[in-house]
Amino acid sequence: MSSSSDSSEVPTEAFGPNRTSSKVRCNTSFLSIVEKTKLGLRKFMLDDLIAFKLYNNLNQFQVGDHDKVLKNDLGGIFNLEFSIDGKLLVSACEGKQVLLFDASNQKLISKVENAHRNCVNCVRFLNDKHFATCSDDTSIKIWDIRKVQSCIQTLHGHSNWVKNIEWSEKDNVMVTSAFDGSIYAWNLKTPNESNMMYDKVFLMNGLMRMKLTEDGSKMVISTTNGFMIIIHDLNLLTLATDLRSFRPSLYRLMQISDQCFPVATIYNSLFSPSRRRNRIEFIEDFPNEAEVISSLQIHPHGWCAVSRNMNAEDDEEWTSVHDIQNREPKDYENAFTYINEEAPEEVDPEGEANSRPTDLWMGYISLEDYNSHDRDFNELSQPLYENRQLPAMGILNTGLIGTNSSFDTYFRQHPEQHNKIIRNLPRLTHFIKEKNVAKGFIKELCFSSDGRVICSPYDMGVRLLAFNEKCQELSMCVPDNPQQLKTVVEMNNYHRDVVVSCKFSPVHYQLVTGCLGSEIKWYQPIL
């Protein structure tokens, strides 16, 4: 079999309104490929060609009176989620509703009015019978698909809009994040909801999204400050203790400003490649001057993260793919900088007690951080894991950049950390510019179940994006330098309003998309 690719995009009017697809020429028919596969005569690159043909021919199909069933009072379709077996689809709606569909015939099974007191943001299946939803009303609700008209549990803990739900199979806990900057881990095995066990496992300013890898070994966090965080070798049980009082945004400020803050450099050990649990790494390399990283998804094999961001001027929107896999320890050997600073003058201990933090510090941290920082350290019952013994940091008698007796003690014990700033490894692999429409609304991306394709909302339609023109798996086409994602299919004007959500089935070659105009569209390969 021989084949050649043509990177030019070919309009195919027969498939619907404004549909554009890439074209691959092949001397072997698709039926011939299927027959050879049945006989075990599979050749190298055959899987790539089959995958390309399936995704290249993905298109909307009619679902009877489905559109008439959906009312305009749904508002935006903010999130879509298939059940683990792919048989059900659940949608989260701006109008407070939750909808359940039979994915095999696309029929609406159930509609839950007023599922929350405000818009529903996210849906997540926890197992084959239960799913969770979260809302701007700050609550999380647990539902049983067998009696969906009333939830079985309502969970409270967050103090702001809840935007994210993850399930850790490894720890058997639900993990949520909200715009209050907190990440909670919930033990759903507790007998009753009044005694529901939960832990605040992480807190930071500017938290936007949180995702776990499929195996639960990593947590990835996107922020409103133009960087992402990877927590390698994730241990939810000790995360709160290990990272207590660590301020990621402050450390990032130190990296940008090239000024050493003792209150930040004492956490250098959190970045150490020899660290055995909850190791921190920042991602900063974006194709643009990223500011708000609003959407985040993890590759099904945990190889990379795809995100969507806005710049500070709010006039550009980009999709980026970053490698999140473990790197060799030698890659980190030179990932630091020593800042040359003049030795600070000795400070009178009595005068130091009355000194204020610097303006740079006070302009960056919140009042809650300011009031709680000393309390956080005083509440520690044991030293931070692998951080040795960090100094107790009373903010009111600690200058951010100046000297302090407790810092002096720490840096005398660990002189190699003095004036040392950890630098971030380049991890960007792919990128593409998006249309900047429907400002203020988050557009949720998704991976296909095999990880070959990314579906990205594109105005009133979507684009299917691949890592290269052959639609290969990422492991087969890792670039030496960041490359632009390749458009497999571009479908424009398929919705009556801007698309803000999409989801691939975990089992079938099936895709759904939702828009701000109360519409849900279904797609499958049309060969």
pLDDT digits (tens, 9 = 90+) for 163-220: 999 999 999 999 999 999 999 999 988 755 555 578 899 999 999 999 999 999 999 9
Asked if 155 and 141 touch (Cβ cutoff 8 Å), the reply is yes
CA–CA separation, 377 vs 360, rounded Å? 22
Band of residue 110 on the pLDDT scale cut at 50, 70, 90: very high
Mean pLDDT in the chain?
Answer: 85
Beta-bridge mates of residue 177: 164, 183
pLDDT grade for 347, boundaries at 50, 70 and 90: very low
340's CB contacts (< 8 A; 6+ apart) are 419
Which range (93-102, 206-215, 415-424, 428-437) has the least confidence?
415-424
- How confident is the model at residue 351, as a pLDDT? 46
Please tell me the distance from the alpha carbon of residue 78 to that of residue 95, in angstroms, as a whole number. 10
Q: In which domain, by residue range, is 19 found?
A: 3-59
Q: Report pLDDT for 381.
A: 33
Which tokens go with 345?
């003058």
First vs last C-alpha separation in the chain: 20
Residue 322 is encoded by which pair of tokens? 């970053």
Highest mean pLDDT among 22-26, 33-37, 53-57, 372-376: 53-57
pLDDT attached to residue 68: 59
| Residue 34: inside a domain | yes
Distance of alpha carbon 471 from alpha carbon 47, whole angstroms: 10
Q: What is the pLDDT of residue 361?
A: 41
Q: What is the pTM of this model?
A: 0.85
pLDDT of residue 70: 77
Domains identified in the chain, total number: 1
Determine, yes or no, domain membership for 48. Answer: yes
pLDDT at 500: 98
Amino acid at 315: D
What's the mean pLDDT in 369-388? Answer: 40
Asked if residue 426 belongs to a domain, the reply is: no
* Domain presence at residue 29: yes
Of residues 295 and 385, more confidence is placed in 295
CB count within 10 Å of CB 358 equals 16
What pLDDT sits at residue 46?
A: 66
- Cα–Cα dist 205/114, whole Å: 31
H helix intervals, 7-147: 30-38, 46-56, 66-69
Asked if residue 92 is part of any domain, the answer here is: no
Looking at the DSSP bridge assignments, the partners of residue 280 are 231
Whether the per-residue pLDDT at 310 is higher than 70: the answer is yes
Residue 369 lies in a domain: no
> Which stretch of 208-222, 337-351, 391-405 has the lowest confidence by average pLDDT?
391-405
Residue 318 lies in a domain: no
- As given in the structure block, the two tokens for residue 155 are 């969970």
Least confident window among 176-185, 288-297, 358-367 = 358-367
Report whether 511 contacts 503 (CB < 8 A). Answer: yes
User: Taking Cα atoms as reference points, which of 225, 234, 237, 240 lies closest to residue 281?
Assistant: 234
Angle at 390 between CA 385 and CA 396, to 5 degrees: 135
**pLDDT-based confidence at 373, cuts 50/70/90?**
very low
Report d(CA 136, CA 116) in Å as an integer: 8
**Within-domain flag for 25:** yes
Cβ atoms of 126 and 174 within 8 Å: the answer is: yes
Per-residue model confidence (pLDDT) at position 133: 99
pLDDT value of residue 377: 37
Report the distance separating Cα 93 and Cα 78, nearest Å: 6
Please enumerate in sequence order all residues whose Cβ is within 8 A of that of 29, keeping only pairs 6 or more positions apart, or say none. Answer: none
Q: Amino acid identity, residue 289?
A: E
Confidence of residue 323 (pLDDT cuts 50, 70, 90): very high
Pairing of strands 19-26, 486-491: antiparallel
> What average pLDDT does the segment 273-300 reach?
98
